[in-house]
Amino acid sequence: MKKIILLPFAFTMLFSLTQCNNPAPEKLISNAETRSKIISASMNNDAYMNEVMDSMMIKHPDVILSTVFVLAKNDMHTQENMMDKMTDMCKMDSSMCKMMMGKTMEMCEMDKSKYSMMMGSMKEHPKGMQSMKDMGMCDMKGMDINHKK
């Protein structure tokens, strides 16, 4: 009988002694070498990276967006990709299109040079200009809607 009781007790003791105690996350990241390994492992794993980015977008969307715009400021390829994605979002979601148009109009109201630039670029899109004129959306005086590219 003693052997039966002693055997589970011995097994339990052996099991508890061999278990590794995981330190708290705060303790792990306080060490610079461990922190860099954790960050590298997270960045190289797609599932973890997506989780990190989702968390960052929820907790710090302004930081993410400002960083993206700073990085894209001098990179034409990135700017084109961003514009393509925004255009695709506008095609799929009319509320997104309305918001984008509103932001564009706010920009034009604040800066006359931006307004002039936008009106100049609209000359390259006579069908769009004609549609806007037909809908009475804006005054097109001075604009040549028959301009061909």
Kindly report, residue by residue over 25-75, the tens digit of the pLDDT: 788 788 888 888 888 888 888 888 888 888 888 888 888 777 777 777 778
Mean pLDDT within 80-109: 85
**CA–CA dist 74, 41 (Å, integer):** 30
pLDDT attached to residue 145 = 47
Asked if residues 125 and 146 have their Cβ atoms less than 8 Å apart, the reply is: no
Mean pLDDT within 73-86: 83
Residue 147 binned pLDDT confidence (cut-offs 50, 70, 90): very low
User: Who has greater pLDDT, 24 or 46?
Assistant: 46
Identity at 98, one-letter amino acid code: K
Mean pLDDT within 129-146: 62
When the pLDDT of each residue in the chain is averaged and rounded to a whole number, the result is: 77
Instruction: Give the count of beta carbons closer than 10 Å to the beta carbon of residue 72.
Output: 16
pLDDT attached to residue 144 = 47
Mean pLDDT within 118-139: 75
The predicted model scores a pTM of 0.39
